[in-house]
Amino acid sequence: MNKLRLFLAAAILLPALTGWSQTAFDLSREAVIDRLKQDVYTLASDEMEGRESGTASERLAADYIKKRMQEIGLKPLFGDSFLQAFPFPGEWVWGEGNTMRLGQRVFQHDEDFFTLPGSANVQIQAGFADVGLGLEGIPGYEGYDGLADLEGRLFIMEYFVPEEVETALGMNARELLPHRLELAAEKGAAGILFVNARSDRDDPRLDLRLVREPLDIPLVFLRAGTYEALVAGAGQPLALSTDLTREEQTGLNVAGYLDNGAAATVVIGGHFDHVGYGNRGSRSPGERAIHYGADDNASGTAGVLEAARYLSQSDLTAHNYIFIGFGAEEKGLIGSRYFTNSGAYDMEKINYMFNFDMIGRLEDYSLSLIGTGTSPAWEPLIDRLAPEHFNIRKSPGGTGGSDHTNFYQKDIPVIFFFTGTHEDYHRPGDTPDKVNYEGAREILELAYAMMAELDGQDRLAFSTTPVVARGRSRTDAPTLGLMPDHGYDGDGLRVQAVIENRPAHQAGMKDGDVIIRINDTEVLEIETYMEALGKLQRGAVSTVVVKRGEEELQFEVQL
């Protein structure tokens, strides 16, 4: 990729030529596209190695963005710094000290049992008791009935609960888990040994950090054969040792400030991190290669920088502007959550937030604007200003898998600009040569028009948007194994990509199919699709009806 290196070299030389004073930028179409290309090619270069948070490549990318902000003439937002460091947890590392023994029987970690993320590190020898579902007060499911002297014993507890219990309590197994753990602690549990002995569902992937307050006890999962061995050896003490660590890592937000002395401020942001060499974030599992992240989200970061250039020499001065690149978005919106909670800037002063995340693959002028329900002003504004040749899909929800979510949760109106997922999403093929730079430029022009219309007006009213009931936690419910096309504006849900060897693929579904019904639930758009998924049961066979061209097809999908 010689072109990538040329762009990077040009970017490194640029500071010496400008002295980082504010520059008068050429805002012609050709100049804007050239700058967008330079920023994307640099951020999505071999040298940036995929910009994974917590790595040297993230710091290299953050330094590049900082220098661009200095060139534009922005002020540092964080005191005298453009950088805001924040902690986030790294991957779990299992040590050599995960052992379990019952009498002469030694069990192997990973093969016979495994220590769960969130477990305390302890060494213990104790008796154990089977407490069933670990519930109390549910007729027919009283796990503690008849059990005495539980203090200091290890509790064997079923992870899954029967469907009739979930229905009666209005909670699924994962949602019930904190209550069961709290009850176990009250009963004196010295540790929890989870099993999946009474369900035909696959063993769950558990991360106990997500569902409980910290308990200083070991938490492990037993394979079926191990559980049977413990039942057979009841009466003997179990020797258990747990050993895992999680190093704290540091991510970076990069932000510059355009101070117009105004009472209200606008945030224009987008995450600059990506998934590095793939790892858990990749859609090409097992392939260790640079995931360039040109669309996701070098394109949005380039858009944030270009918006800063435009606004730094525009007459839109009724707002101050924050231009921010968020880190660790791919780790769970961590950077933006840290920023909005950090007190680094008064959230009460923010009028609205624009989120540029994946604005680089405009096709057929289809653009999704997400968050249109977060203020009554958005829809009429968009209808009035959107170019006629654009196909705008408006989505009201203020939450979702990008950084605008954390601003919405502070009662700030948001708009998320998004050109949709594609086959290269989270794969090494998301390279700069595939970005539609003219399309990105036109998206920015729409954003400028919206900002101009709001310049000098009263502050936007904020509206909450409904959260669709899912019927269960999405982390526990089954999935079809496909990528929705968020830019599709017809009836139903269009499948952007079917993931190989997952339920939809195995049933015969194809890219481009439009899902119109799942079992008895009609699918109208993404919200009703998610609602339908929330009703599905692991292990069940579900009926999915799709349109493929003019043909209507029905598939039986094994979940």
Clarify whether residues 207 and 140 are in a common domain.
Answer: yes
- Position 214 scores a pLDDT of 60
Clarify whether residues 436 and 365 are in a common domain.
Answer: yes
- Position 487 scores a pLDDT of 57
Mean pLDDT of 323-346: 95
Query: Among 220, 245, 270, which residue terminates a domain?
Result: 245
Cβ pair 356, 269 in contact under 8 A: yes
Mean pLDDT of 259-274: 97
Q: Assess if residue 103 is contained within a domain.
A: yes
Clarify whether residues 402 and 277 are in a common domain.
Answer: yes
Give tens-digit pLDDT for 188-201.
999 999 999 888 77
Confidence of residue 533 (pLDDT cuts 50, 70, 90): confident
CATH of the domain at 491: 2.30.42.10
Instruction: At 241, list the tokens.
Output: 């040792």
Clarify whether residues 393 and 286 are in a common domain.
Answer: yes
Mean pLDDT of 351-356: 98
Give tens-digit pLDDT for 225-237.
999 999 999 889 9
Clarify whether residues 430 and 500 are in a common domain.
Answer: no
Maximum average pLDDT range among 204-218, 242-256, 275-289? 242-256
Query: Among 194, 228, 245, which residue terminates a domain?
Result: 245
Give tens-digit pLDDT for 108-125.
999 999 998 888 999 999
CATH of the domain at 203: 3.50.30.30
Q: Is the peptide bond before 320 cis (omega within 30 degrees of 0)?
A: no
Clarify whether residues 409 and 430 are in a common domain.
Answer: yes
Clarify whether residues 113 and 136 are in a common domain.
Answer: yes
Clarify whether residues 282 and 422 are in a common domain.
Answer: yes
Higher pLDDT, 118 or 388: 388
Percent of residues, the chain, with pLDDT higher than 70: 89
- Position 97 scores a pLDDT of 96
CA 210 to chain CA centroid, nearest Å: 14
Cβ pair 326, 403 in contact under 8 A: yes
The tally of domains found in the chain comes to 3
Clarify whether residues 208 and 315 are in a common domain.
Answer: no
Higher pLDDT, 398 or 215: 398
pLDDT above 50: residue 172: yes
Instruction: At 297, list the tokens.
Output: 């989200």
Give tens-digit pLDDT for 421-438.
888 999 999 999 999 999
Q: Assess if residue 469 is contained within a domain.
A: no
Q: Assess if residue 309 is contained within a domain.
A: yes
- Position 293 scores a pLDDT of 97
**Residue 447 is part of which domain span?**
2-85+250-454
Paired strand residues for 415: 354
Clarify whether residues 107 and 235 are in a common domain.
Answer: yes
Helices (H), 248-347: 300-312, 334-342
Clarify whether residues 63 and 107 are in a common domain.
Answer: no
Mean pLDDT of 447-459: 95
Clarify whether residues 432 and 533 are in a common domain.
Answer: no
- Position 263 scores a pLDDT of 96
CATH of the domain at 359: 3.40.630.10
